[in-house]
Amino acid sequence: MGFPGEPGFVSEASRMIVTVAARRQPASRAALCVCVRRQHISSRSRFCIIASCTCNDVINNDEQPFRGQRNVEFDWKLTKQVFASQKANTIISPLSVKILLVLLYEATGDAAELSETQTKRELKTVLEPNGDLNATRSKYRQWLDSALSTHHDYDLEIATKFFVEEYIDVISKYQIISDHYYSATVDKVPFSNPKNAAELINNWVNKTTHGRISELVTPDGLEGAVITLINAIYFKGLWTYPFPEYTPMLTFHGKQKQVQAPFMEQNGQFYYDDSAALDAQLLRLSYRGGKFAMYFILPHQGKTVDDVLEKITPTTLHQALWYMDETEVNVTIPKFKFDFSEELNQPLKDIGIREIFSQNASLPLLARGKGTRNEVRVSRVFQKAGISINHLGSEAYAATEIQLVNKFGGDGTQIFTANRPFLFFIEDEDFGTLLFAGRVEDPTK
Predicted pLDDT of residue 148: 82
Angle, helix 94-106 to helix 73-84, in steps of 10 degrees = 120
Domain range holding 117?
Answer: 28-240+336-409
Q: Is residue 399 part of a domain?
A: yes
Residue type, 119: T
What's phi and psi for 70, nearest 5 deg? -90, 125
Q: Is residue 426 part of a domain?
A: no
Q: Is residue 283 part of a domain?
A: no
- Evaluated on CA atoms 123, 128, 131, 135, the torsion sign reads negative
Residue type, 375: E
Q: Is residue 212 part of a domain?
A: yes
Residue type, 279: D
CA distance 414 to 191: 57
* Count: domains in the chain: 1
The per-type count for the chain, helices as H runs and strands as E runs, is 9, 18
Spacing of C-alpha 34 from chain mean position: 14
Burial class (CB in 10 A: 0-12, 13-18, 19+), 15: middle
CB atoms within 10 A of CB 280: 23
Cβ atoms of residues 54 and 431 within 8 Å: yes
User: At a CB cut-off of 8 Å and minimum separation 6, what does 422 contact?
Assistant: 296, 297, 298, 299, 305, 439, 440
Q: Is residue 18 part of a domain?
A: no
Radius of gyration of the chain from its Cα atoms, rounded to whole angstroms = 21
Share of the chain above pLDDT 90, in %: 58
What SS3 state is found at 40?
Answer: coil
The per-residue pLDDT for range 376-426, each reduced to its tens digit, is 778 788 999 999 999 999 999 999 988 766 555 545 789 999 999 999 999
The per-residue pLDDT for range 142-195, each reduced to its tens digit, is 999 988 887 888 999 999 999 988 888 888 899 999 999 999 999 999 888 999
Enclosing H/E stretch for 228: strand 227-238
Q: Across-strand partners of 259?
A: 252
Q: Is residue 318 part of a domain?
A: no
Q: What is the pTM of this model?
A: 0.84
The per-residue pLDDT for range 263-294, each reduced to its tens digit, is 999 999 999 999 999 999 999 999 999 899 99
DSSP per residue, 141-208: HHHHHHHTS--TTEEEEEEEEEEEETT-EE-HHHHHHHHHHH-EEEEEE-TTSHHHHHHHHHHHHHHH
pLDDT confidence band for 372 (50 / 70 / 90): low
Alpha carbons within 13 A on the beta-carbon side of 369: 17
Indicate which CATH number applies to the domain containing 106: 3.30.497.10
Q: Is residue 317 part of a domain?
A: no
CA distance 280 to 298: 5
Q: Across-strand partners of 170?
A: 367
Position with higher pLDDT, 358 vs 12: 358
CA distance 438 to 80: 10
Q: Across-strand partners of 393?
A: 238
Q: Is residue 271 part of a domain?
A: no
DSSP per residue, 251-293: EEE-SS-EEEEEEEEEEEEEEEEEETTTTEEEEEEEBTTSSEE
User: At a CB cut-off of 8 Å and minimum separation 6, what does 246 contact?
Assistant: none
Position with higher pLDDT, 54 vs 240: 240
